[in-house]
Amino acid sequence: MLHLRMIVPSDRTDDVATLLANSVGTTHLTLLRGAALDPPGDVLTCDVAREAADGLLERLRADGIADAGAITVEDVDLTLSASADRAEAAAPGEGTDAVLWESLVEETHEESTLTFTYLGFLTVATMLAAYGVMLDSSILIVGAMVVGPEFGPLAGVCTSLVRRDRGLLARSVVALAVGFLVAMLLTGAFSGLMDVFGLFTRARFDAPHPATGFIWQPTWDSFVVALLAGVAGILSLTSAKSGALVGVAISVTTVPAAANAALALSFGNWHEVRGSTAQLAVNLAGIVLAGTLTLLAQQWFWARQRDGA
């Protein structure tokens, strides 16, 4: 269940209350007249089955409640109520399959914004991956994959393409392009500093790396894995199962490819620069393609669920 709390202008309270009372999957409707001070109005709350929430939120937005008042949505971890059980049973589909588009757009908007924290995580992840390449350490490579925050903007691209949100698309592309550029430049500088201390050397970079050589050698396998990771990542976001994102992170070689490209560039190895850049492009393209198709499939599925309800 989800808990909705709304601030509604007093002259529209009765209409919104009627909408909530007549909506499938809603229960526990409460009304506090005159309780809201900023913006002024009445406070309405209700619980709604997750699978019915997206349609209700669309109606509330279309009625201008978000503009004239406010809508807050919270997850309810536990509800002991026969009324809630009946509401969930009446709602079409299953809650774990439901897509809350408003929540997805808001989450990807936040995760795809170019911030100092985002740049910090991406840069540190790329530096960790660079050390993993130099040491031929698969453990460091996996660690760098987990630290990397790049799936947020990738999910933002997928969401923006499905929702036709140009602002979100531009924000996500900027976060990806600028983020990887900055991370690679700083990793190149980091490589030069480590070279001064004798930790990163040309001989060490050119030595065989059986555990990490795949990073700069893209294959069809790389593309297929990226496709699968894109599907899993979007399903994780839309079903609120964020734990699966860890598996997505360690399935693709976006950050390691960027790190290897930065190292290869600093040592003048153009062959590996091209290979690493191609690997990065293959992974990004695979994730975006699969993620977008997954969202389109979910959108189609829930449209059919609503029509059949």
- Angstrom CA distances, 249 to 117, 147, 152, stand at 18, 8, 11
| Amino acid at residue number 109 | H
User: Where does the pLDDT of residue 251 fall: very low under 50, low under 70, confident under 90, or very high at 90 and above?
Assistant: low
**Residue owning tokens 């698969």:** 138
Q: Comparing C-alpha atoms, which of 133, 120, 142 is closest to residue 186?
A: 120
Q: Where in the chain is the domain with CATH 3.30.70.120?
A: 2-97
Residue 38, judged by CB atoms within 10 A of its CB (0-12, 13-18, 19+), counts as exposed
pLDDT for residue 109: 80
Contact 87, 301 (CB under 8 A): no
CATH of region 103-305: 1.20.1080
Mean per-residue pLDDT over the chain, rounded: 88
Both structure tokens of 62 = 């279309």
Q: Comparing C-alpha atoms, which of 118, 175, 123, 180 is closest to residue 149?
A: 118
Q: Where in the chain is the domain with CATH 1.20.1080?
A: 103-305
What mean pLDDT is predicted for residues 48-58?
A: 86
DSSP secondary structure letter of residue 145: H
Both structure tokens of 59 = 């109606």
Structure-model confidence comparison of residues 53 and 4, the more confident one: 4
**Neighbouring C-beta atoms of residue 21, cutoff 10 Å:** 11
Both structure tokens of 212 = 């990490």
Q: Kindly tell me if the per-residue pLDDT of 242 is higher than 60.
A: no
Please give the Cα distance from 141 to 254 (Å, whole number): 11
What tens digit of pLDDT does each residue of 136-178 get? Answer: 998 899 889 888 899 889 999 999 999 899 999 999 999 999 9
pLDDT for residue 241: 58
Please give the Cα distance from 193 to 188 (Å, whole number): 9
Q: Kindly tell me if the per-residue pLDDT of 283 is higher than 90.
A: yes
Q: Comparing C-alpha atoms, which of 184, 99, 174 is closest to residue 148?
A: 184
Q: Kindly tell me if the per-residue pLDDT of 244 is higher than 90.
A: no
What mean pLDDT is predicted for residues 33-51?
A: 92
**Helices marked H in the chain — which ranges?**
13-22, 50-62, 65-68, 82-90, 101-111, 116-135, 138-147, 151-163, 166-196, 202-206, 220-238, 244-249, 254-266, 270-308
**CATH architecture for residues 2-97:** 2-Layer Sandwich (3.30)
Q: Any idea how long the chain is?
A: 309
User: Where does the pLDDT of residue 78 fall: very low under 50, low under 70, confident under 90, or very high at 90 and above?
Assistant: confident
Q: Which residues, 6+ apart, have CB-to-CB distance to 237 below 8 Å?
A: 104, 107, 108, 155, 245
Peptide bond into 210 cis (omega under 30): no
What mean pLDDT is predicted for residues 206-232?
A: 89
What mean pLDDT is predicted for residues 45-64?
A: 88
- Least confident range from 76-80, 91-95, 126-130: namely 91-95
